[in-house]
A and B are shown apart, each in its own frame.
Chain A
């Protein structure tokens, strides 16, 4: 399988704070790869750097064979990268449909309708509410909207930052089901999670982050069985 995202030696600072300390990881086409770690481990920082909102001081980020480490964030969407940011960050004052349209901002106008149909087929609830102001959706619906919005650009790599955050267990299950369905339908996924149990059980491979460093990596199932991971992240 081809590597579609290759991150080498990423170092990210917030002023004097060294948040990500020399992380390297890869995502292959068709995989679900997860980055797990406690609060403040550097997961969000890593994703934001891949999507160009933050910059790494060293190393390289290669996406589909192209070095994207200096490409402005807004241009990366047309390279095939989409991110569902932490806390969803949907446009609360816009309608559901307008949010989805924004997701397809870089697409030609003829591509919007078919993509929207596909997203509505995946999330029928969004179709029912398409004229509703996004700020009035429930938390679970907002998460679906954030995912649907990212899918509107038909990305080659979908990055999700804690999609299960703040959701009831039943909704968490549903979100992870959707992630697996999307993957089966051909999407490559980079998943950041605190819910290590769920993340590792759907992921092909995982990386464990601790205070800005990768401390462990391996197939999802193996990490689930790992004593250190069990102790630190699975509460057993």
Chain B
């Protein structure tokens, strides 16, 4: 029973990582860059949701939608101002810019909301008892898992079936050839940032509902872990991000329970390193034969 409890909390934690990792992986797949500011967009999402509930007294579900809208705009603006001018710059320059954007967002949050942690009111409360109360699943956990699955299925359908989604895949393979098809690559990249950032807002709300504390650095650790999850599953792969996120959450939760709370993070990263040694492309990273 105890094990099941840890497993459930691992799955819901992993679902949050998976949602963040999906954003990371989409942006990486299409823009070929690691957007290290992605984690901080989660934090902004959390604060927006907090403010709309706390100061404006809006219902939680509406606060989520507002957070998504604000983060979508933020993501597109960040891409347009910071990354777009560097489209043909070396990837190191882009990486450093992304780290800069990350610090900028954290410090802006510090300036606006201060350093004192805010207490976030979870979007849903309570829990569902199972097996006559021996086990209980919080509604936040349930919601997180359900939302994660919906997002993953939605993205799979979007990239597999819609014209825009296919255009994204085309851009991710070959931007020059995509332009020769008439695809507006800049617009496609903005669109990817929009989707990734909206997902970050959802992840922010869920993360804060899970650990109801909000400060300017709230997004960094989940951001880094989700990045790890994306690499773990095979960066650029949507099912890979999902699987990587879930596994990471489970490993972390079980490591905390049975090994050591302090060491849990180290164990998570050690597993990543081992997986990458065995499978450099990640769990679901694929190798496509190329003919000349």
Q: Are B292 and A149 interface neighbours, CB within 8 A?
A: no
Q: Are A101 and B166 interface neighbours, CB within 8 A?
A: yes
Chain A residue contacts of B173, Cβ below 8 A: 91-94
- Asked if A64 is at the interface (CB within 8 A of a chain B CB), the reply is no
- Asked if A82 is at the interface (CB within 8 A of a chain B CB), the reply is yes
**Residue B185 contacts which of A74, A137, A138 (CB distance < 8 angstroms)?**
A74
Chain B residue contacts of A109, Cβ below 8 A: 163
Q: Which residue of B lies closest to A52 (CB)?
A: B179
Q: Are B177 and A89 interface neighbours, CB within 8 A?
A: yes
Chain A residue contacts of B290, Cβ below 8 A: 92, 135
Q: Are A77 and B169 interface neighbours, CB within 8 A?
A: no
Instruction: Report which residue of A73, A90, A133, A150 has the largest number of chain B beta carbons within 10 angstroms of its beta carbon.
Output: A73
Q: Are B174 and A91 interface neighbours, CB within 8 A?
A: yes
- B158 vs chain A, min Cβ distance (A): 14
- Asked if A83 is at the interface (CB within 8 A of a chain B CB), the reply is yes
- B178 vs chain A, min Cβ distance (A): 7
- Asked if B100 is at the interface (CB within 8 A of a chain A CB), the reply is no
- Asked if B134 is at the interface (CB within 8 A of a chain A CB), the reply is no
Q: Are B166 and A53 interface neighbours, CB within 8 A?
A: no
Q: Are B174 and A89 interface neighbours, CB within 8 A?
A: yes
Kindly state the separation between the CA atoms of A138 and B291 in the bound complex, as whole angstroms.
Answer: 7
Chain A residue contacts of B163, Cβ below 8 A: 101, 105, 109
Kindly state the separation between the CA atoms of A102 and B292 in the bound complex, as whole angstroms.
Answer: 21
Kindly state the separation between the CA atoms of A89 and B178 in the bound complex, as whole angstroms.
Answer: 9
- Asked if A187 is at the interface (CB within 8 A of a chain B CB), the reply is no
Kindly state the separation between the CA atoms of A100 and B182 in the bound complex, as whole angstroms.
Answer: 13
Which A131-147 residues sit within 8 Å CB-CB of chain B?
A: 133, 135-139, 142
- Asked if B4 is at the interface (CB within 8 A of a chain A CB), the reply is no
Which A57-98 residues sit within 8 Å CB-CB of chain B?
A: 72-78, 82-83, 85, 87, 89-94, 98
Q: Are B182 and A106 interface neighbours, CB within 8 A?
A: yes
Mask, A147-169, CB within 8 Å of B = 1, is 00110010000000000001000
Q: Are A74 and B292 interface neighbours, CB within 8 A?
A: no
Kindly state the separation between the CA atoms of A169 and B180 in the bound complex, as whole angstroms.
Answer: 28
**Residue A51 contacts which of B178, B180, B292 (CB distance < 8 angstroms)?**
B180
- Asked if A103 is at the interface (CB within 8 A of a chain B CB), the reply is yes
Kindly state the separation between the CA atoms of A85 and B291 in the bound complex, as whole angstroms.
Answer: 15
Kindly state the separation between the CA atoms of A109 and B166 in the bound complex, as whole angstroms.
Answer: 14
Kindly state the separation between the CA atoms of A221 and B185 in the bound complex, as whole angstroms.
Answer: 42
**Known contacts A74-B184, A93-B173; is-contact A102 B289 (Cβ 8 Å):** no
Kindly state the separation between the CA atoms of A101 and B173 in the bound complex, as whole angstroms.
Answer: 15
- Asked if B181 is at the interface (CB within 8 A of a chain A CB), the reply is yes
Which B153-194 residues sit within 8 Å CB-CB of chain A?
A: 163, 166-167, 169-170, 173-174, 176-185
Kindly state the separation between the CA atoms of A79 and B290 in the bound complex, as whole angstroms.
Answer: 32
Q: Which residue of B lies closest to A75 (CB)?
A: B182
**Residue B166 contacts which of A72, A94, A133, A149 (CB distance < 8 angstroms)?**
A94
Kindly state the separation between the CA atoms of A93 and B181 in the bound complex, as whole angstroms.
Answer: 16
Q: Are B181 and A53 interface neighbours, CB within 8 A?
A: no
Q: Which residue of A lies closest to B287 (CB)?
A: A135
Chain B residue contacts of A133, Cβ below 8 A: 288
**Residue B180 contacts which of A85, A87, A138 (CB distance < 8 angstroms)?**
A85
Kindly state the separation between the CA atoms of A74 and B170 in the bound complex, as whole angstroms.
Answer: 13
Chain B residue contacts of A138, Cβ below 8 A: 291
Q: Are B176 and A105 interface neighbours, CB within 8 A?
A: no
Chain B residue contacts of A93, Cβ below 8 A: 169, 173, 286, 288
Chain A residue contacts of B185, Cβ below 8 A: 74
Q: Which residue of A lies closest to B172 (CB)?
A: A93
Kindly state the separation between the CA atoms of A184 and B102 in the bound complex, as whole angstroms.
Answer: 58
Q: Are A91 and B170 interface neighbours, CB within 8 A?
A: yes
Kindly state the separation between the CA atoms of A98 and B290 in the bound complex, as whole angstroms.
Answer: 18
**Residue A105 contacts which of B169, B183, B286, B292 (CB distance < 8 angstroms)?**
B183
Supply 16 further A-B pairs (C-beta < 8 A) apart from A92-B290, A98-B169, A153-B182.
A51-B180, A53-B179, A74-B183, A78-B182, A87-B292, A89-B174, A89-B180, A93-B173, A94-B170, A94-B173, A102-B167, A105-B163, A106-B181, A106-B182, A135-B288, A166-B292
What are 29 A-B pairs at a CB distance below 8 A? A53-B176, A53-B180, A73-B180, A74-B182, A74-B183, A75-B182, A76-B182, A77-B181, A85-B177, A87-B292, A89-B174, A89-B176, A93-B173, A93-B286, A94-B169, A94-B170, A98-B166, A101-B166, A102-B170, A102-B178, A102-B181, A102-B183, A106-B181, A133-B288, A136-B289, A138-B291, A149-B181, A153-B181, A166-B292
Leading 10 A-B pairs by shortest Cβ distance: A77-B182, A106-B182, A89-B177, A73-B179, A135-B288, A74-B179, A102-B181, A105-B182, A105-B181, A91-B173
